[in-house]
Amino acid sequence: MRKFRDELKMGRWKTIAGETRGTEIAEAALVLPLMFTMLLGVLWVGRLYNIYSTMNHAAREGARAAANSDCSTCTNQVLPADQIALTYVAPILRASRLDPHLVPAATPPNFCPCGSASCAAPVACDSAGASAVPSICVQYDVDIGEPTYNPRTCGTAVSFRYPFQLPLPFTLPGLQNFMISTQAQARSER
């Protein structure tokens, strides 16, 4: 009888030691925060892509408007940068719930003047600077073609940046805030 009780006690210990309830809780405590972080990462990367595609669309529309004249019956003047920013770029940004006032001061990319043999000085940036206007960089009469092609392709370029914050846990602080840049070019129709 005593031997049977000892075997019964040993069987209980084997059953208790063989149960996995404690390990399942520990595994869930380790895995669930990582899974939640990955899910948030997917959502924020999707938003980043949405912002980037909206910016590209706004820059393309701005470049297209800057490449054409203001009207066909007028003096064939180009639209100024503030009008391009207010009329073409800002409404597209607002449609995707982006604040056009967050666009920082424009930094011009290096475009050579159209028709020049060498690029000694890049074309200056015509920036919209009023408080109601996003700071975009519009460059008129720039060489947008491939440098080996002849004749050269003249056009306009529109570029700007937008801040993005990636609020994910377990990331370095320097990687949470960064600027998204975009640039679009259009061939001049003048």
pLDDT at position 93 is 92
Look-up: residue for tokens 């073409």?
A: 88
Given this model, what pLDDT does residue 130 score?
56
Query: Virtual CA dihedral for 186, 158, 140, 81, nearest 10 degrees?
Result: 130
Going by C-alpha positions, the residue among 79, 62, 63 that lies closest to residue 71 is 79
Query: pLDDT by residue (tens digit) across 48-58?
Result: 999 999 999 99
What Å distances lie between residue 116 and 78, 121, 142, CA to CA? 21, 10, 10
Q: Could you tell me the pLDDT band of residue 146, with boundaries at 50, 70 and 90?
A: low
pLDDT of residue 92: 93
> In the prediction, which pLDDT does 19 show?
63
- Average pLDDT over the chain reads 78
Q: pLDDT over 70 for what percent of the chain? A: 67
Q: Please tell me the predicted confidence (pLDDT) of residue 91.
A: 93
Q: Which tops the pLDDT comparison, 189 or 99?
A: 99
Number of Cβ atoms within 10 Å of the Cβ of 115? 10
